[in-house]
């Protein structure tokens, strides 16, 4: 008899079971039939290979396989000071971009993190406090986005919130016990946009929120929100 499989028949190190059942009961799209789900790896996050049938526009059913990486859903927030026209970003080491030809792996980003068991608003307040150490104002929900839909299941919830740039203490934050060594980057909004244009800011969520801020957000010109 085969030994029980971690994360499937018996709990894994995160207490999870049934990782091979995710997606089997999907019926929202009548042109998709899930046949089988195989767990390829389940360390902190989960890599699955799903076999499915897809009905193409001609009505023919074709067999497909898709690998998906499930890291849970997340949230991110742009912290802005409307009076001083500043934004508070973070800078930290990201190995995945370092291994993909980024010069040093140090990315400038908006504060972000996974939801874990929290709702998006609660989670991003927690992450903003951990990553920046500042108290933020009322959260504004901007949008929800799938950032890499070809292979990653994550839905990212975007927010914006005011902060007082004059109250920022120090230039470092993050939880050392989680391996976070975060540098705070307090920028004029125009300088931040220049960094997008020059390629010094390369993180997608950060670019999206900075552009939103000047098109429809707190720094929009000619609109009701202009300061």
Place of tokens 């390369």: 202
What is the structure's pLDDT at 221? 82
Give tens-digit pLDDT for 8-28. 988 888 888 999 999 999 999
User: Are the C-beta atoms of 62 and 42 separated by less than 8 Å?
Assistant: no
What is the structure's pLDDT at 13? 81
User: Are the C-beta atoms of 136 and 121 separated by less than 8 Å?
Assistant: no
- Cα dihedral 145, 148, 149, 150, rounded to 10, equals 170
What is the structure's pLDDT at 27? 96
User: Are the C-beta atoms of 3 and 27 separated by less than 8 Å?
Assistant: no
How many other CB atoms are there within 10 angstroms of residue 42's CB atom? 20
Low-confidence stretches of the chain (pLDDT beneath 70):
1, 167, 169-180, 222-227
Domain boundaries, the chain: 1-70, 74-215
User: pTM of this prediction?
Assistant: 0.90
User: Are the C-beta atoms of 109 and 71 separated by less than 8 Å?
Assistant: no
Give 74-215's CATH code, choosing from 3.40.50.2300, 3.20.20.10, 3.90.79.10, 3.10.300.10: 3.90.79.10
**Distance in angstroms (rounded) separating the CA atoms of residues 150 and 203:** 18
Residue partners of 203: CB distance under 8 A and separation at least 6: 107, 108, 109, 110
């Amino acid at each position: 008899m085969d030994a029980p499989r971690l994360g499937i028949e018996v709990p894994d190190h995160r207490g999870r079971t049934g990782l091979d059942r995710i997606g089997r009961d999907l019926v929202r799209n009548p042109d998709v039939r899930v046949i089988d789900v195989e767990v390829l790896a389940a360390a902190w996050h989960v890599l699955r290979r799903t076999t499915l049938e897809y009905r193409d526009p001609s009505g023919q059913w074709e067999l497909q396989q898709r690998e998906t990486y499930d890291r849970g859903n997340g949230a991110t927030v742009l912290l802005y000071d409307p009076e001083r026209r500043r934004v508070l970003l973070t800078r930290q080491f990201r190995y995945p971009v370092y291994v993909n030809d980024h010069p040093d792996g140090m990315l400038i980003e908006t504060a972000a993190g996974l939801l874990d068991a929290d709702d998006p608003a609660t989670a991003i307040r927690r992450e903003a406090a951990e990553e920046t150490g500042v108290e933020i104002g009322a959260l504004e929900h901007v949008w929800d986005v799938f950032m890499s839909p070809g292979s990653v299941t994550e839905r990212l919830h975007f927010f914006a919130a005011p902060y007082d740039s004059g109250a920022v203490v120090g230039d470092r934050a993050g939880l050392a016990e989680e391996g976070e060594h975060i540098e705070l980057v307090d920028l004029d909004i125009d300088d931040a946009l220049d960094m997008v244009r020059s390629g010094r800011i390369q993180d997608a969520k950060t670019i999206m929120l900075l552009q939103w801020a000047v098109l429809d957000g707190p720094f929009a010109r000619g609109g009701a929100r202009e300061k």
